[in-house]
Structure 1
């Protein structure tokens, strides 16, 4: 076959496509275990960050095992499902199920004799999924810390939810109102509450109203299912 013929060019191109595709497939398969391990450790990092423990990826597992004393999967009724590994619960998949079939992972941490409850979050931003973790002090009302992330929010706008200055706004905020009812924490455009920590609200990001609403909704939608269990723990501690 002549090298300058159309048939030769077509066959050569087809072979190259197959070779490159095979090489990429092999590389992706061989790297998958490493990628999964990085995701696992990053998850540990984010959980720890909500309680003020910052660590690099390589040290994440050691610190996670040091500070996380319990991992629980709850039903929507607040009952413990011991058959489920809380760390392996995929919220993206859980949210596609009816609520009564979902499982709600909870991490219990102890730092300097203080107990914290860490709750995974997932919701919708402007363009795609947003998620994160939020930790509560053992009064089941005060937020210790929060971490947020996103898949495709707008840089400089909704993507700013990952910035520490935004996450820090949630520290010490209350999730209950003055009547002791669950209120969550709202991201409010034009917020004028200053440094108030008992009004169930934080200042929004300018130009990112829909993403802020997504943060508000995912906090409210996820936390409410943990309250039956957490308030029961709080009462049991008070009675001891």
Structure 2
């Protein structure tokens, strides 16, 4: 074997190429990050607007930004239901991972199988002047394969659904993935998620729903359907947005 074909030379070339590729990828990631963050923020606004019934689908950036002017973003302390001054760069998912800003959930308390949650949460309000029209709550819980993230929009009575929109999940396409199907989403408006005592009563059932507290489950996706129900039971309950919704019913919001 000649010196030009030595294993050492091959290794050196491979290392140099790896370093060059790493630098290129890192540079591209840094350059693209601002645009990626803008796209994520635009997608968040779009899904909130869809859940609230203010947008059908799609929408340009200017249209979405204009419509989102109707939406007031607040941060609530989940233990008290009271609004708090948002921490700098507040990110609910990051707070859920930090021992200083999260609550660890165990046993039956963790009905949505999320393990930890942030002590603070975003809520979104739509008003007509001083009159509250819609409340949009971010919710998440585990399905069959993944944590499913969505927005639930309620009327000021805190029980009647305006809309429900999932935007991120890893469920099976054609089965659990049908949580994104507009046809399934269309059966949610008008459903009632709480009883007169403010307790979660929504159920996903096999076959056809028989009353306003029931929603048709996803065909062939029982565990995903259970995950949707458990998600709402948790986030509408006392350990989720329950204290906040109680304040809304009392006319304090």
TM-score range, shorter chain: 0.7 to 0.9
1:70 offset after TM fit, Å? 4.8
Moved more, 18-27 or 70-79: 70-79
Q: TM-score, length-normalised on structure 2?
A: 0.80
Inter-partner Cα distance in structure 2 for 1:231 and 1:181: 7
Residue 123 of structure 1: CA displacement?
1.0
Question: Which residue number corresponds to residue 174 of structure 2?
Answer: 156
Residues 79 and 201 of structure 1, relative CA distance in 2, 3 Å threshold: same
Query: Does residue 1:76 correspond to 2:79, yes or no?
Result: yes
Task: Report 1:53-92 matches (<5 A).
Answer: 53-54=54-55, 56-59=59-62, 60-65=64-69, 67-84=70-87, 88-91=90-93
The alignment partner of 1:88 has SS state of: coil
Distance (whole Å) between structure 2 residues aligned to residue 111 and residue 202 of structure 1: 29
Number of equivalent positions: 230
Q: Deviations over 1:172-192 (max 9, x none)?
A: 100123x5442242222x233
Whether 1:173 aligns to 2:173 is no
Partner residue of 1:191 out of 179, 203, 207: 207
Deviation, 1:3, is 3.2
Deviates more, 1:69-78 or 1:147-156: 69-78
Displacement of 1:7 in angstroms is 2.5
Is the aligned partner of 1:104 residue 2:121? yes
Distance change (3 Å), C-alpha of 1:140 and 1:181: closer
Structure 1: tracts of 5 or more residues without a match = none
For structure 2, list consecutive stretches of 5 or more residues without a partner in the other structure.
105-116
Q: What per-residue deviation string (whole Å, max 9, x for no partner) do you get for residues 65-118 of structure 1?
A: 2x1135232332212222447x93324642772179611221111369761000
Distance 1:205 1:161, change over 3 A: same
State the alpha-carbon separation in 1 of the partners of residues 118 and 127 from structure 2.
Answer: 30
- Between Structure 1 and Structure 2, the one with more helix by share is 1
Where has structure 1 moved over 4 Å in runs of 4 or more? 111-114
* Aligned residues: CA RMSD: 2.6
Q: Can you list the C-alpha shifts for 1:168-217, whole angstroms capped at 9, x where unaligned? A: 2211100123x5442242222x23325x4x2x221111121111111111
**SS at structure 2 position matched to 1:152:** coil
Are the equivalent residues in 2 in contact too, given 1:143–1:172 (CA < 8 A)? yes
Corresponding position of 1:231: 246
Shift of 1:17: 1.2
Q: How high is the TM-score relative to the length of structure 1?
A: 0.84
